[in-house]
Amino acid sequence: MKKTVKFAFILLSLIGVYCMFWGCSNNKADKQDQLETLQGSYTARLGVAPLAPPSIGQYKTPQKVIVNLLVTEKQMQLANGVQYTFWTFNGTVPGPMIRVHQGDEVEVHLSNSPNSTMPHNIDFHAATGPGGGAEASATAPGHTSVFGFRALKPGLFIYHCAMAPVGMHIANGMYGLILVEPKEGLPKVDKEFYMVQGEVYTDGKFGDTGLQHFNLQKALDEKPDYVVFNGSVGALMGDNAFHAKVGETVRIFFGNAGPSLTSSFHVIGEIFDRVYLEGGQMINRDVQTTLVPVGGAVITEFTCKVPGYYSIVDHSIFRAFNKGAIGQLEITGAENKDIYSGKIKDEPYIETQSK
Amino acid sequence: MKTAIIFLTSLFMVTALNAQPHKKRPLSGRPPDMVYVPAGLYRPFMQQGDKSGRVQLQAFYMDDHAVTNQEFLAFIKANPKWAKSKIPGLLADQNYLEQWSGDYQIGNPAICNSPVTNVCWYAAAAYAKWRGKSLPTLDQWEYALSFPPVGLPKNRSVTRYILDWYSNPTPEHLAAVKTGYQNDLGIYDLVGSIWEWVDDFNSVVESGDSRSQGSLEKSLFCAAGSQSAIDKSDYASFMRFAFRNSLKAKYTVRNLGFRCVKNIN
């Protein structure tokens, strides 16, 4: 008898506690749905790869942020001596990087050049709504569409064209990143870089010169000839490499547009201090390689400690060395032999005689 | 060669099932500059609603080339209310006949014989009516395209030809008509130069049934319902349907023109 009473008591209190929490979380959800009123508007300053957009300062009240995008179809260099007709947002691959605060309304003005052969549109992974805006933004050549969405969730998100055939529009270069900063903002760092991985499917093999056309069969087989960072082989190499100094903190906004291959993002010779997993709110520390799904992104941060050239790769390594998925970070500054000695000695190896 | 043609055709989106199209070609009564398109069965690319199977098409005549700037000028001269400065904004956007120098001047001899573009659906339909013709239905247009090409290299499918065309931006001046792609009926430039209006390009204009349009949209945007296409690897057709679906009747586009058909009673 006593036992039963005790059991019932525990059960009741458990239900009570559950109800409290359930009630709480429900109230919270209600509050979240009541959006704060927009106060003012401004036109976004966009980041052109490899530069991320400048900081947008402290969050005070939600704003309407106007984003102007112009779709153009144009021939650009895919590799040395190799041309390709890219479809672009604002004339670059990737398209510009956008930066807003959580709570802001993003008002997109998507224009399609009169010279385009195709209709185009845009799907924001940061948007909540059908198609991420794809239907609302379908735009014939020579026209402009306007639509808006509220940036409800913080994180780093891909945007891309979603007009049929979607895979071709993505492979041809129609993608970019939008950063929705949490209200408290991201911690300050010294350098921020912007890069997106994408695949190109060409009739010719890697390096075949001249104007290359899109190859449908290779696309369907998911076998790209090119896997590139920022639209072309060498876009982040040599003179175009990222630069930082010893002692500086670096943040890389990295997206994977695909359309087919998952990326194993890695900086050779660095360990990420912090990785915002999949561009979301969970932070992992001390990471060597982070997996970035197609249609996904990641924020990585690290501190520059030893000078030299560091390769940034998709660690599916044939892509890096044979298909273009490689970039460079040049760190300049004083050596730190305590952390990394460099080669101390080089001497002949003499096999010791067995017996 | 015959095998090659069969192969090429099978690669394309619609399948012309009439085995001997030319035998039914009538000897007389063909309007000038038009081509006889024999009756036949055709399989629409987008399987919608009850249109699940094949569609029987009656024979019709189709213009062997797209309407040129010169031909359209004659229409404007006879029907001044369609001139650039007179057409109401409700019927055409501001780029209407943008390539012309004036209401009744083309102003650029290089494009007289090129397809007229930057024309809205209303003006195209009015032109067709003035000529005693009409705009092709989507089915008629796609059916005409299903006839095999002439003179394509063996290893180049029609789909390939179309994709290559799309991968080049629209040139400053469009080529003269009858200088490009030709099919074995003698119809020129159905692909390779411009997009063309069809009568029922977008069900909004015809039926006002937003539901049917909605279902087409769903099949054209990201993932959603692309299951309704008969050949999911036919990117050329996806593009054509996406293009048509992005239009409204008043829109004018630099690479969008039209041609006419005449139905046979």
Question: Checking DSSP bridges between strand A175-181 and strand A98-101, what pairing results, if any?
Answer: parallel
Q: Are A173 and A198 in contact (CB under 8 A)?
A: yes
Q: What is the token pair recorded at A271? A: 């360990």
pLDDT grade for B171, boundaries at 50, 70 and 90: confident
How do residues A175-211 score in pLDDT, each as one tens digit?
A: 999 999 999 999 999 999 999 999 999 999 999 999 9
**pLDDT at position B151:** 84
Q: What residue type is assigned to position A162 of the chain?
A: A
Beta bridge pairs of residue A176: A159
The total of other beta-carbon atoms located within 10 Å of residue A338's CB is 8
Largest CA distance in chain B: 53
Name every chain A residue with its beta carbon within 8 A of the beta carbon of B168. Answer: 85, 117
Q: What is the mean pLDDT of residues B99-111?
A: 95
Instruction: Give the gap in angstroms from C-alpha B42 to the nearest C-alpha of chain A.
Output: 23
How do residues A249-306 score in pLDDT, each as one tens digit?
A: 999 999 999 999 999 999 999 999 999 999 999 999 999 999 999 999 999 999 999 9
pTM reported for the whole predicted model: 0.83
In A201-339, beta strands by DSSP E: 210-212, 226-229, 242-245, 249-258, 263-267, 272-276, 283-287, 289-292, 296-303, 308-314, 326-332
- B17 touches A: beta carbon within 8 Å: no
CA-nearest residue to A164 within chain B is B220
Average pLDDT, chain B: 80
Name every chain B residue with its beta carbon within 8 A of the beta carbon of A164. Answer: 219-221, 226, 238-239, 241-242
CB contact under 8 A, B252 and A142: yes
| DSSP letter assigned to residue A270 | -
How do residues A86-106 score in pLDDT, each as one tens digit?
A: 999 999 999 999 999 999 999
**pLDDT at position B121:** 96
Residues in chain B: 265
CB contact under 8 A, A213 and B169: no
Residue A132 has pLDDT above 50, yes or no: yes
Residue A123 has pLDDT above 60, yes or no: yes
CA-nearest residue to A162 within chain B is B222
**pLDDT at position B43:** 81
Q: Name, of A165-174, B152-161, B237-246, the range with top average pLDDT.
A: A165-174
Domains along the sequence of chain B with CATH: 2-263 (3.90.1580)
CA distance B41 to B51: 13
Q: What is the mean pLDDT of residues B141-168?
A: 85
- Here the ipTM equals 0.75
Q: Which of A86, A117, A145, A294 to mutate to test the interface with B (most CBs of B within 10 A)?
A: A117
CA dist list (Å): A289 to A68, A243, A246, A332, B10: 35, 21, 22, 23, 46
Q: Which of B119, B197, B222 to mutate to test the interface with A (most CBs of A within 10 A)?
A: B222
How do residues A217-236 score in pLDDT, each as one tens digit?
A: 999 999 999 999 999 999 99
Residue B8 has pLDDT above 60, yes or no: no
Residue A24 has pLDDT above 90, yes or no: no
**pLDDT at position A11:** 59
CB contact under 8 A, B255 and A141: yes
More confident residue, A274 or B213: A274
pLDDT grade for A35, boundaries at 50, 70 and 90: confident
Side-chain half-sphere of A304: how many Cα atoms within 13 Å?
26
Q: Which residue has tokens 């390769």?
A: A311
Nearest to B163 among A141, A164, A213 (CB): A213
Q: What is the token pair recorded at A161? A: 């064209």
CB contact under 8 A, A165 and B217: no
Beta bridge pairs of residue B88: none
How do residues B12-64 score in pLDDT, each as one tens digit?
A: 434 444 434 444 556 578 899 999 999 998 887 776 545 557 888 999 999 99
Largest CA distance in chain A: 89
Question: How much of chain A exceeds pLDDT 70, in percent?
Answer: 90
Residue B219 has pLDDT above 90, yes or no: no
CB contact under 8 A, A166 and B247: no
Size of interface A-B (CB pairs under 8 A): 96
CA distance B109 to B114: 10
Residue A8 has pLDDT above 50, yes or no: yes
Average pLDDT, chain A: 91
Beta bridge pairs of residue B219: none
Q: What is the mean pLDDT of residues A5-19?
A: 58
Q: What is the mean pLDDT of residues B179-189?
A: 94
How do residues A271-281 score in pLDDT, each as one tens digit?
A: 999 999 999 99
